Amino acid sequence: MLTPGPLTTSDVTRQAMLVDWGSWDPEFAAVTREVCDWITQIATTTRDDLRCVPLQGSGTFAVEAAVRTLVPAGGSIVVLVNGAYGRRLAEICRRSGRLPIVHETAEDVPPDPADLAALLAAHPEASHVAVVHCETSTGMLNPLAAIADAAGAAGRRLIVDAMSSFGVLPVHAEHPAVDAIVAASGKGLEGVPGMGFVLLPEAVLLASSGRCDSLAMDLSDQYTYLKRTGQWRFTPPTHVVAALRSALEQYVAEGGIAARRQRYQANGDTLLGEMTALGFRSFLPAELQAPIIYTFHAPRDERWHFADLYREVKDRGFILYPGKLTQAETFRVGCIGAVTTEDLKSAVVAIAQSLAALGVAQI
Ligand SMILES: *Cc1c(COP(=O)(O)O)cnc(C)c1O
């Protein structure tokens, strides 16, 4: 699976799902506690007031929970958009009755912190800023630290969608402007999908009590209940949590964030090198590219159809990802998950063989 979640998991992680757990079981409560402690330690080792609040569902559920728990209904929030996940964030705000002030740049252009500062000066009513750290629809790494500085200087709070970067790249959890960092089980931590989580300062969690206008997505309630009883409100995704504990054990054994980043960077460098040798052009320049997922321009050959390549490459053992851009025809290849440079080399060989089988000559 060369996809950015669900992704390739290790045999050990999949085996961790062979046990059924009772949600009320003290041993399962300990698993939840361990998972949350590990996640907090991955985010920061110097700050002790951050709490990890797990939430059932895919990553989007956790993003929506963060917005609805932190931003008051009817409140305004600046949303930085340069891809599909930024647009989804703005849509979450709109649907939940928070007013997004959208600052959009092209899909290959990061937001400029000076523009954000000017926008915040013009919008004193916006209490928060939301940004996607790695915009997975292109693979772009947005300048999180500079954006946090601009938000902090204007006295605003930051919500970070760090879904595909968490555990791989630093998420600047120590920055005083950061209110929430959102990620999920089935991305860079290499668990299976089904659990999101939000990291927040405890004071922010307590201060937001009663603000959320959704029962199931109230992070403050989830936190208080978990802290008091050791149990999740509502049925937890038990097998997902057990798999995540195993994946985190393997993450620590591999060498933590530095080792994970190094392996993904080697994967990405290999992928980009081999694809370029075939004649493919990367959508993003190297300096904007995160080592997570890569976007390539579609070949100009009239025999090119992504669905055909997908099928041919799948027959050869690899799963690719379609493009998600509005401005260009592209497709994507992820380099995260339990995969190595050898896997990426074999994948590019499979792509070359598939193109030949399809008669796509002009790349
Ligand atoms: C995966 C992802 C999400 C969550 O998407 P789901 O489909 O809900 O898992 C959100 N933001 C980013 C940047 C992502 O990569």
- pLDDT tens series, the chain, 363 aa: 999 989 999 999 999 999 999 999 999 999 999 999 999 999 999 999 999 999 999 999 999 999 999 999 999 999 999 999 999 999 999 999 999 999 999 999 999 999 999 999 999 999 999 999 999 999 999 999 999 999 999 999 999 999 999 999 999 999 999 999 999 999 999 999 999 999 999 999 999 999 999 999 999 999 999 999 999 999 999 999 999 999 999 999 999 999 999 999 999 999 999 999 999 999 999 999 999 999 999 999 999 999 999 999 999 999 999 998 877 899 999 999 999 999 999 999 999 999 999 999 888
Which helix or strand (DSSP H or E) is residue 275 part of? Answer: helix 256-278
What's the gap in Å between 68 CA and the centre of ligand 1?
17
Q: Which residues pair with 104 in a beta bridge?
A: 81
Q: Is 60 touching ligand 1 by the criterion CB < 6 Å?
A: yes
Cβ–Cβ under 8 Å, residues 53 and 209: no
Q: Which residues pair with 333 in a beta bridge?
A: 294
pTM: 0.97
Q: What is the distance between the alpha carbons of residues 190 and 7, in angstroms, rounded to a whole number?
A: 7
Q: Is 159 touching ligand 1 by the criterion CB < 6 Å?
A: no
What's the gap in Å between 164 CA and the centre of ligand 1?
7
User: Which residue's C-alpha comes closest to atom 12 of ligand 1?
Assistant: 163
To test the pocket of ligand 1, the residue of 87, 88, 131, 161 to mutate (highest count of ligand atoms within 8 Å of its CB) is: 161
What's the gap in Å between 60 CA and the centre of ligand 1?
6
